[in-house]
Amino acid sequence: MQTETGTDRYACRSPEEVRRLEAEYLFDTYRRYDLLVSHGSGAYVYGFDGRRYLDFLAGIAVNSLGYAHPRITRVIAEQSARLIHSSNLLYHPFQGQLARRLVELSGLSKAFFTNSGTEAIEGALKIARAWARRNGFTEKTTILSLKNSFHGRTLGALSITAQEKYQAPFRPLLPGVRFVDDLTPEGLERAFTPDVCAIVAEPIQGEGGVVPLPPDCLPTARELCDRRDALLVLDEIQCGMGRTGTWFAFQQLGVKPDVVTIAKAIASGYPLGAILGSARVADALQPGDHGTTFGGGPLACRIALEVLDVIEEEGLLEHVTRMGTYLISGLRKLAVSHPTIGDVRGKGLMVGAVLGTAARPAVEALLKGGVLANAAHETVLRLLPPFVISLRDIDEFLETLDHVLADIERSASGTVAGRA
Ligand SMILES: *Cc1c(COP(=O)(O)O)cnc(C)c1O
């Protein structure tokens, strides 16, 4: 018998074994979908049974270039053969170049690299507090966050996540956080007490159900931050890096933030995040104030540089805008014949369809029909396809959704008739 080596040694033996091992050895934190994934190519992922799935999830807004993009697999192979990690005690060639690109694309001034979105939020919170202190605003320690927001799972990020279900098991959380429920200009002004050092907002809320903020919300927040000496922190971890058709969602909203957090799509699947800061906060952090062992490593930064090049050279921002418009109009057409679909909202390839029923069964039925999607906030079907999706892919998705909704509507009316 041949000796098993390398990855073969851990090759998948059966879906049952995978499930059994996870059930026995993992903390029970995830409600996974019924798909054991093997590999991907372009906008498709493949199960171990060989079945093809059209991907409208992109690893939760991460796999911007889809799967196995030849330029990404090449830089991973080449750079990993040279240097994967070096620590932030040494220089490597890519962190500065990536910081320059992100600064140029965002119009901000400085970058700090992290390994995840949550870590970027943690750093942004520290910048807010440090900035206030350095500028002599010692009373300013309060962070404002908006209702229905999601900023991550660590204690700091969780503390500014205004959703009871995430916070409830973990109190007490960080003090000095206040949620804003009234997003009108008056409501924001009332919330902006003299102790506020920053307001954090997602330009389009993701986990909250693909909810764009009211149009005057961010301009009002910007104006209040200027007038009352506070920072506007935008969480673009989900909506940034091209997902809405511009590099950053704020670029379509007429505001310039002081701090932006990004992650998810930045390295198309490789873990990386960043905090970007304006000139106003450029010296908020001093040597020793903040750091990370892994953040901004050579492999991660090299991949992100390649991702930015591919998006630019393949014209993917324009493509995202075109595909997003097509997808949203297709969903609105479907809504005419499917009463289950209510509001259709979002921008670019960050799209939500509010269903008149729980979204999870629809997501599971889509999966059976060969499409990967996701449910957010109970009733929202959230669509986050990779940027490389085609018109034909969107047609295929809409056709599958058409059947799925017809089934759901048929069985719902059956239930009602059965009860009557
Ligand atoms: C995903 C997400 C986060 C958390 O990012 P992680 O990489 O999961 O830590 C924070 N904010 C927003 C808006 C997100 O979508």
Q: How many domains does the chain have?
A: 2
Distance, in Å, from the CA atom of 411 to the CA atom of 378, rounded to the nearest integer, reads 19
Atom of ligand 1 nearest to the CA of 238: 15
Same domain, 223 and 345: no
Atom of ligand 1 nearest to the CA of 118: 9
Choose the residue to mutate in 160, 233, 238, 243 for probing ligand 1, maximizing ligand atoms within 8 Å of C-beta: 238
Domain end position, chosen among 256, 280, 313:
313
Q: 235 CB under 6 A from ligand 1?
A: yes
Q: 152 CB under 6 A from ligand 1?
A: yes
Query: Is 45 a member of any domain?
Result: yes
Query: Is 404 a member of any domain?
Result: yes
Atom of ligand 1 nearest to the CA of 273: 7
State which residues form the domain around 39: 23-55+315-419
Atom of ligand 1 nearest to the CA of 207: 15
Convert 319-333 into a string of H (helix), E (strand) and C (coil).
HHHHHHHHHHHHHHH
Distance, in Å, from the CA atom of 255 to the CA atom of 226, rounded to the nearest integer, reads 12
Same domain, 258 and 353: no
Alpha carbon nearest to ligand 1 atom 8, residue: 117
Distance, in Å, from the CA atom of 375 to the CA atom of 209, rounded to the nearest integer, reads 8
For residues 160-176, average pLDDT: 97
Same domain, 120 and 239: yes
Q: 208 CB under 6 A from ligand 1?
A: no
Same domain, 40 and 133: no
Q: Tell me, what's the pLDDT at 417?
A: 47
Q: Tell me, what's the pLDDT at 412?
A: 87
Same domain, 289 and 338: no
Same domain, 177 and 30: no
Distance, in Å, from the CA atom of 348 to the CA atom of 343, rounded to the nearest integer, reads 16
Query: In the sheet where 52-55 sits, what is the strand order?
Result: 37-41, 44-47, 52-55, 371-372
Distance, in Å, from the CA atom of 18 to the CA atom of 47, rounded to the nearest integer, reads 13
Provide the β-strand partners of residue 179.
145
Q: How remote is the CA of residue 151 from the centroid of ligand 1, in Å?
A: 6
pLDDT tens digits for range 102-156:
999 999 999 999 999 999 999 999 999 999 999 999 999 999 999 999 999 999 9
Question: What tokens were used for 292?
Answer: 């990370």
Query: Is 61 a member of any domain?
Result: no
Q: Is the pTM of this model over 0.85?
A: yes
Q: How remote is the CA of residue 418 from the centroid of ligand 1, in Å?
A: 43
Evaluate whether 139 touches 229 at the Cβ level (below 8 Å): no
Q: 248 CB under 6 A from ligand 1?
A: no
Domain end position, chosen among 279, 313, 347:
313
Q: How remote is the CA of residue 188 from the centroid of ligand 1, in Å?
A: 24
pLDDT tens digits for range 187-228:
999 999 999 999 999 999 999 999 999 999 999 999 999 999
Question: b/e map of 330-352 (b: 16 or more CB within 10 Å)?
Answer: bbeebbeebebbeebbbbbbbbb
- Residues 324, 331, 34, 14, CA torsion sign: negative
Query: Is 3 a member of any domain?
Result: no
Distance, in Å, from the CA atom of 379 to the CA atom of 408, rounded to the nearest integer, reads 14
Query: Is 197 a member of any domain?
Result: yes
Q: How remote is the CA of residue 49 from the centroid of ligand 1, in Å?
A: 31
Evaluate whether 200 touches 151 at the Cβ level (below 8 Å): yes
Q: How remote is the CA of residue 224 from the centroid of ligand 1, in Å?
A: 26
Q: How confident is the model at residue 6 (pLDDT cuts 50, 70, 90)?
A: low
Same domain, 48 and 149: no
* Domain CATH code at residue 88: 3.40.640.10
CA-to-CA dists, residue 134 to 87, 128, 403, 410, angstroms:
28, 10, 59, 62
Q: 203 CB under 6 A from ligand 1?
A: no
Helix, strand, or coil (residue 239)? coil
Q: Who's near 332: CB < 8 A, 6+ residues apart?
A: 344
Helix, strand, or coil (residue 203)? coil
Kindly report the CA angle at 204 between 150 and 264, in degrees rounded to 5? 65
Q: How remote is the CA of residue 118 from the centroid of ligand 1, in Å?
A: 6
Chain position carrying tokens 């324009």: 318
Distance, in Å, from the CA atom of 363 to the CA atom of 411, rounded to the nearest integer, reads 16
Strands (E), 214-258: 231-235
Residue 141 is inside which H or E element, if any?
Answer: none
* Domain CATH code at residue 396: 3.90.1150.10
Atom of ligand 1 nearest to the CA of 263: 7
Residue 411: CB atoms within 10 A of its CB come to 12
pLDDT tens digits for range 7-46:
689 988 899 999 999 999 999 999 999 999 999 999 999 9
Q: How remote is the CA of residue 84 from the centroid of ligand 1, in Å?
A: 24
CA-to-CA dists, residue 151 to 12, 124, 159, 231, 241, angstroms:
34, 11, 9, 17, 17
Q: 151 CB under 6 A from ligand 1?
A: yes
Alpha carbon nearest to ligand 1 atom 10, residue: 151
Same domain, 162 and 89: yes
Same domain, 335 and 291: no
Q: 115 CB under 6 A from ligand 1?
A: no
Q: How remote is the CA of residue 117 from the centroid of ligand 1, in Å?
A: 5
Domain end position, chosen among 256, 287, 313:
313
Same domain, 297 and 178: yes
Burial class, 11, CB count within 10 angstroms (exposed 0-12 / middle 13-18 / buried 19+): exposed
Query: Is 5 a member of any domain?
Result: no
Q: 123 CB under 6 A from ligand 1?
A: no
Mean pLDDT over each residue of the chain, to the nearest integer: 96
Same domain, 79 and 219: yes
Query: Is 14 a member of any domain?
Result: no
Q: How confident is the model at residue 395 (pLDDT cuts 50, 70, 90)?
A: very high
Alpha helices in 70-216 (DSSP H): 70-82, 94-106, 117-134, 155-159, 164-167, 185-191
Alpha helices in 229-385 (DSSP H): 298-313, 316-337, 359-368
Q: How remote is the CA of residue 174 from the centroid of ligand 1, in Å?
A: 18
Query: Is 78 a member of any domain?
Result: yes
Q: 69 CB under 6 A from ligand 1?
A: no
DSSP secondary structure string for all residues of 14-75: -HHHHHHHHHHHS-S-----S--EEEEEBTEEEETTS-EEEESSHHHHT-TT-B--HHHHHH
- Residue 5 in this model has a pLDDT that exceeds 60: no
Q: How remote is the CA of residue 261 from the centroid of ligand 1, in Å?
A: 9
Q: Tell me, what's the pLDDT at 3?
A: 52
Give which of 56, 70, 68 is closest to 313, Cα–Cα: 70
Kindly report the CA angle at 51 between 350 and 265, in degrees rounded to 5? 25
Atom of ligand 1 nearest to the CA of 202: 13
Kindly calculate the radius of gyration of the chain based on its CA atoms and give it in whole angstroms: 22
Same domain, 123 and 84: yes
